[in-house]
Amino acid sequence: MITITEARKEILKSHPRIDAIYKVTGIAKYVADWNVKDVLYGAVIKSKIPHGKVKSIDVNEAKKIEGVKDIVTCFDDNTIWNAGEKFHRRRVFTDHVRYLGDIIGAVAAETKFSAKIAAETVKVEYEEYPAIFKIEDAMKPDAPKIWEDGNVKGPLVISYGDIEKDFAEADLIFKGNFKTSRVANAQLEPAASLAWWEGNRLTVVAATQSIFGCREGLAKDLGIPIENVRVITYYKGGGFGNKASDMNYDLIAAILAKRTGRPVLIEFSREDEFSLVHGRWGTDQTLEAAVKKDGTILSFRIKAYADVGAYTRAIGKFVEGPESYYSTRSWYSEIYAVYTNTPPTGHMRAPPGPQSCFATESLIDEIAYKLGVNPLDLRLKNAVTKVHNSSNLTSNGLRECLLRGAKEFNWYNRWKKPEKPKKGEIVRGVGMAMAAWHARVGYGEAKIRLKPDGRVELFVGVVDIGTGAKTTMAMIVSRYLGVPIENIDIIWGDTENTPYSIGESGSRTTSFTGNAVKEASLELREKILNLASQFTGIEKKHLEIVNGKVVSLDSSIEIDIGDLLTKTKTDYLETFVRINQELDKNMERLSFAAHFCEVEIDTETGEINVIDYLAVHDSGEIVNYLTAENQVKGGIVMGIGMALNEKLIFSDYDGSLLNGNFMTYRLPTIDKIPNIRVIFVETEDPYGPKSLGEVSIVPVPACIGNAIFNATTIRLTELPFSRETLLAKLDESVFTKV
Ligand code: MOS
């Protein structure tokens, strides 16, 4: 006989997204699907030069275009978009344009067409400044200044331990330079925002990852009380990090709506989505590792430059991560952000994660090769036990990920010492990489209500940008309250009707909001059992809720929880919970991954194909295996893109984005995706499920690069890996010497 707890686990470990049917049938309403009366359409006025000062704007001709209701420019509006730039004040409408496309004004018109034409018709006079498009040029002492305080910010330093001592004590020092390109978040739904005012109350239907983050930003930037702002997001077509606050187009919709007294909808074209909304920054990283002959890695020293474009929304470090998955005695990284007259950058899935992992894990692979040891053994030897050599982990499944992966991938049999291929050969090789990412805990809220019809309403402030958050939350209720998931209704995505949630960023939803949902479920369960105990006279400890029914352990009674309310004349039972979890001092919480892959390379054409992929993850307890596996697969597909194809290409002439659409920006296609196996090592963590969404992309480019090395002895040091470089390197260092 299985216990009740086991029975629940059986049922509730895997479930399809509860809103999948609405998405695939087109019923789900995204921002641009809203149909509001008297709506005006907004369009942005974009700079036609990459760098300069706006001297004047003539809107007279544009105003005459039929249907044009309003034109606002940098001379009429001073609003600061606080989330738009990390180190400086960025205006919503700027008079100092810093890249081609920088927004200097906006139009509201009766039709999308009129708005667009008017935005193009506005005459702008500029004082042109010299422009720079490459970080090397931006760092020259006489470079034109993109910001008053210069083009270079930093250094930001992450350090611990005695770096000089460890490098002095090293038997061997390894060094490498690695570069990563700028890439796009490339979510399917382009930027969109719909805003209207009722008196001094603003409502924004936003395509945001966080309705509360968006609301807070709008209130701050517009200088209005937060209670006067309502943000609604019922459906969001992906985000991956670039829409986790209020966005400039939200502010522009609100500003135009205020000025016209009508609702305003702004929707970006795919090209605008690519070039006006930020993507992942590029990096140039020089690493050194201090190593003992026995393979102990004593220390890492990194100097890195981040290619951040004209603006960066990043709030984190530009190179970060490996210092948390290696147990070195010391670490020193010195990071600079460098501005250029190119489109903006910001967060994308584990913002600095894959770039940093690529550099470190490639160098580690190199060290293993030179020391003549298996790269897996080198990692097992140096895998983190104490973070920064001082903090304990709440749980640590890294070794288990490595060992389990080795077994399932048959690593020790498949891995052979790298060998030089013969010209024209099709060769295979295997690679691996490990990674960690933050698994934070924090503030969350949830409200749950049981009604006499037996339905349970969960009020939760998530958006569900594609992560399956609504389903996850429903499953947590189902599991801890003991009701079938079909009986749960989720009320989400509206700051007016739901309690606070961090939203979907930083892989935090399941911990922050999910733990509140769990507590709320347990509290409501107590309330139901108390009522049932009073009603039946059976002691509470002999009662349990199973499948939406209160049952006594001796099976003598069975009451539907809805009927219990009816029979006791209770209108409803409700509970509201706030949690604010904090880690103890000197504790760290991380999720871990070990990835393994095999590549096949045509040495004639340079074509690289990933033909097998295994991902082993420690994200603690998994709530929904189905969506968790999907998350990991999505991260790997994104990582394959970063490794093999994806690169935002900017013009050397004016810094404009040359491949800002799905035809020319090369996302990986399905024929390039191998069979991906995902295994979860479910460590027990005192704070419950750990993070998952971001860590899945972190080791991918490094894993593939290491497999390429294993197949060819060629170390590719720049992302994306290009066929040309591979062929050139093969010609130069392999074939000539055969
Ligand atoms: Mo994110 S890159 O924290 O949405």
Domain residue ranges of the chain, discontinuous segments joined by +: 4-24+442-580, 34-129+186-276, 282-440+586-734
**Residue 347 CB–ligand 1 contact under 6 Å:** yes
Give the burial class of 527: count Cβ atoms within 10 A of its Cβ; 0-12 exposed, 13-18 middle, 19 or more buried. middle
pLDDT for the residue 10: 53
Residue 151 has pLDDT above 90, yes or no: yes
Tell me the DSSP string of 287-306. Answer: EEEEE-TTS-EEEEEEEEEE
CA of 187 to the centre of ligand 1 (A): 13
* Atom nearest to 351 CA in ligand 1: 2
pLDDT for the residue 295: 97
CA of 86 to the centre of ligand 1 (A): 15
Q: Percent of the chain beyond pLDDT 70?
A: 98
Q: Which residues contact 422 (CB under 8 A, 6 or more apart)?
A: 603, 738
* Atom nearest to 347 CA in ligand 1: 2
CA of 504 to the centre of ligand 1 (A): 7
**Residue 349 CB–ligand 1 contact under 6 Å:** yes
**Residue 698 CB–ligand 1 contact under 6 Å:** no
Taking a C-beta distance cutoff of 8 angstroms, is the pair 402, 594 a contact?
A: yes
Phi, psi (degrees; rounded to nearest 5) at 70 = -160, 145
**Residue 693 CB–ligand 1 contact under 6 Å:** no
What is the tally of helices (H) and strands (E) in the chain? 19, 30
What's the mean pLDDT when you consider all of the chain?
A: 96
**Residue 506 CB–ligand 1 contact under 6 Å:** yes
What's the CATH class of domain 34-129+186-276?
A: alpha beta
Residue 392 has pLDDT above 70, yes or no: yes
CA of 342 to the centre of ligand 1 (A): 22
CA of 167 to the centre of ligand 1 (A): 35
Confidence of residue 736 (pLDDT cuts 50, 70, 90): low
* Atom nearest to 239 CA in ligand 1: 4
**Residue 209 CB–ligand 1 contact under 6 Å:** yes
pLDDT for the residue 720: 98
pLDDT for the residue 733: 81
Amino acid at 174: F
282-440+586-734 fold: Aldehyde Oxidoreductase; domain 4 (3.30.365)
> Which CATH architecture group holds 4-24+442-580?
2-Layer Sandwich (3.30)
Same fold, 4-24+442-580 and 282-440+586-734: yes
Residue with CA nearest ligand 1 atom 1: 241
CA of 148 to the centre of ligand 1 (A): 29
**Residue 705 CB–ligand 1 contact under 6 Å:** no
pLDDT, tens only, 522-558: 999 999 999 999 999 999 999 999 999 999 988 889 9
CA of 561 to the centre of ligand 1 (A): 39
CA of 351 to the centre of ligand 1 (A): 7
pLDDT, tens only, 18-45: 999 999 999 999 999 999 999 999 999 9
Among the residue ranges 11-20, 356-365, 557-566, 674-683, the one predicted with the least confidence is: 11-20
> Could you tell which of 247, 278, 280, 347 is best to mutate to test the pocket of ligand 1, judged by most ligand atoms within 8 Å of the CB?
347
pLDDT, tens only, 78-97: 999 999 999 999 999 999 99
CA of 338 to the centre of ligand 1 (A): 21
CA of 29 to the centre of ligand 1 (A): 23
**Residue 348 CB–ligand 1 contact under 6 Å:** yes
Ranges assigned E (strand) in 608-737: 608-618, 676-680
> The whole model's pTM is what?
0.96
Torsion of CA 311, 314, 319, 325, to 10 degrees: -170
